[in-house]
Structure 1
């Protein structure tokens, strides 16, 4: 995933080709990964299931249950999906088709049918979903139905191809020996050790003017960059996640809380930025509290309306892509999400597609919602940390 969010997640993971995203400010910043609990029926014993080959049990007098490595799915009816009739399901169709370009195990036939279909309106779209897919309620292996949703976004940074003026903070490409050195150098060594800095200097892709914004890019795992070229021209491109130093991710929000600089309810991204403005002499201390360091690759941006590639390897769709724990929900799975808007009681109920992951996205009922890019996306992602319920839509057997 990308960074995080006031939900800043530790977005990138070794499995993610894009953000890893990544990313996600709130929950990741705070390191809050625990889901809410609720009273449920007696749990089903945990069962480890290979991806794409779930087992189905039908307890006596109960709905069928499909077991995965970190979750159990309970067969549900379409009527159980809160707000199902109120969303524009058709808006999620492009995201589903992108996932079907790389069908996950169990999706080959359904994706072939989806790629051949051409629903013209909501009625045709919903008819297709009902005919080919079956809703399943996602629960933890212990039967908990409530979890946590956070948000992430794709940041936009100003950068220069060569160091100039205030643009002195480097962003690096992948070291050729990264795979042979596990773990690689820490953030403190990469940014503070003269010998390590000299060794990595040929890998510098771009230079930014704000160390905290560079950290945002590292956490989100991918970002758009307005690059100032040596000839004076500026062009829009993407720096995508290409790897990390295999060091543990540490939340800077949690660090400030543990140091007594912020209270637990205050570690949002705006408050962290405010702290940094008031404490410029302690910026290095704050940044080096997180030893994780991300490396990037430069990509063209042929379609500015598409997001970075997530862990599934397909472009993310703003408002319709989520990051999940792939041990709970496989990539490419349509998911009905039931939550609320950030800092609001307004329902956020919509059809999304699981297309990404992140090292902070762990658990059965856990999702990171991709808001897109721009100031509003950043603001929404930074505020998002709501209770969540999920239903997967899985191909009928």
Structure 2
């Protein structure tokens, strides 16, 4: 598992996540004329050697004709609220907000749940470009989900694990370690947002970055990542496995081990990880990713933004791994994470609940993706200029 939503020191401010509505009579948008062969020739001339790029036809993408692409439209429209007013790098070129206006308006005009119309839209407006590692290989793909916890607004014998709000890190200073925080190093000025009944569930919450807490009064409270103490994350399953305390690096082994320890020894085991994640109460139904927009189950992907811009459309192909199904679907890069590093690396957000948890735990295999590059005049002109001697 990964720190999918916990890499940043704070989330961006909320942004508009819809595009303006327009009369249907004005929706006569056509992308610029270009062929896959033309773009491929440009890419081969302009792409840096360390990041190979190859343009392809959508019809050769594994599983393209079987995917329900209409399910990705809501995720794209969420990102359109950001892309329509900020610059974005795509395959090494500078895409302006104008590059996304017609694309987003055309997406907003699609009839809901029309799979054929959605597939034609993506084929008309985008060209898939294969993204590879520096040696031309595949990368690692995992999954994450929204954790489920039981909690209370007041501490008690049952609810005795605090979930803290973010105290801030002025000047980027490092906050106390997990062990120091457990001994009260944050002081009386930092109050827990709420209390939960399991150290293990609290640990999973920090890994996943967001969660839903089922409160003792019957309500459900959403919480999301707010910040981190500045110390390096240490995977407890890796440490305890090396020490022979657990048989394997699974969450279930960790749960069983922690639950049979007395409180003092349980805290000592947790302290192997000096990193502490802080949270905030969340507005809205769905968790928010690093791009500042709500995540969509099965259609949002955490990426390394140094290589893949947030907001990018990606065709993801992950062959069947141990205990997991093959993943072939259109996703949108909307989150990031501390363990997500490299040009081909991703973490699929599967949503919440037992099914999402199962899919997240089972998604762990080598795979590849293709970036769907908008066929806009600005991008094509820049690529052409870079390829001209």
Give the structure-1-normalised TM-score: 0.78
2:214 matches 1:222: no
2:65 is paired with a residue of what secondary structure?
helix
3-state SS of 2:219 partner: strand
Contact kept, 8 Å, 2:5 with 2:289, in 1: the verdict is: no
Q: 1:100 aligns with which of 77, 80, 92?
A: 80
Contact 1:10-1:219 at 8 Å conserved across structures: yes
Aligned CA distance change for structure 1 residues 186 and 67 (closer, same or farther; 3 Å): farther
Displacement of 1:201: 5.7
Write the distance in 1 (CA, Å) between the matches of 2:363 and 2:188: 36
CA distance in 2, matches of 1:62, 1:113: 23
Q: Note the residue ranges of structure 1 that are not aligned, 5 or more in a row.
A: 1-6, 19-57
RMSD over aligned Cα atoms:
2.6
Q: Deviations over 1:230-249 (max 9, x none)?
A: xxx43222111111100000
Q: Which residue of 2 aligns with 1:296?
A: 279
Aligned to 2:242: 258
Residues 39-93 of structure 1 show CA distances to partners (whole Å, capped at 9, x for unaligned) of: xxxxxxxxxxxxxxxxxxx999896366479744222222331111110111111
Q: What does residue range 30-69 of structure 1 map to in structure 2 within 5 Å?
A: 64=44, 67=47
Contact 2:6 2:338 in 1 (8 A): yes
Once residues 172 and 97 of structure 2 are traced to their aligned partners in structure 1, the CA distance between those partners, rounded to angstroms, is 38
Residues 295, 344 of structure 1: alpha-carbon distance in 2 compared, 3 angstrom cutoff? closer
Deviation at 1:346, TM superposition (A): 4.0
CA deviation map 1:264-283 (0-9, x unaligned): xx211112212223444632
Other structure's SS at 1:14 match: coil
The structural deviation recorded for 1:261 is 2.6
- Taking the aligned partners of 1:131 and 1:61, their CA distance within structure 2 comes to 19
Matches within 5 A, 1:1-397: 7-9=1-3, 11-14=5-8, 17=11, 64=44, 67=47, 71-103=51-83, 104-105=87-88, 106=95, 108-117=97-106, 118-120=109-111, 121-144=114-137, 146-176=138-168, 178-180=169-171, 182-192=173-183, 194=184, 196=185, 199-200=187-188, 202-228=190-216, 233-263=217-247, 266-280=248-262, 282-301=265-284, 304=285, 307-340=286-319, 343-344=322-323, 346-396=325-375, 397=380
8 Å Cα contact 2:2/2:338 also seen in 1: no
Quote how far apart the aligned CAs of 1:377 are.
1.1
Residues 70 and 238 of structure 1: is their aligned pair in 2 closer, same or farther, counting only changes over 3 Å? farther
CA distance in 1, matches of 2:162, 2:194: 6
- The TM-score with structure 2 as length reference comes to 0.80
Q: 1:12 to 1:395 in 2, by over 3 A?
A: same
Segments of structure 2 that go 5 or more residues without pairing to the other structure are: 13-37, 89-94, 381-389
Classify 1:65/1:241 alpha carbon distance in 2 versus 1 (closer, same or farther; 3 Å).
farther
Q: 1:61 to 1:100 in 2, by over 3 A?
A: closer
How many pairs align? 337
Task: Measure the CA separation in 2 of the matches of 1:380 and 1:16.
Answer: 27
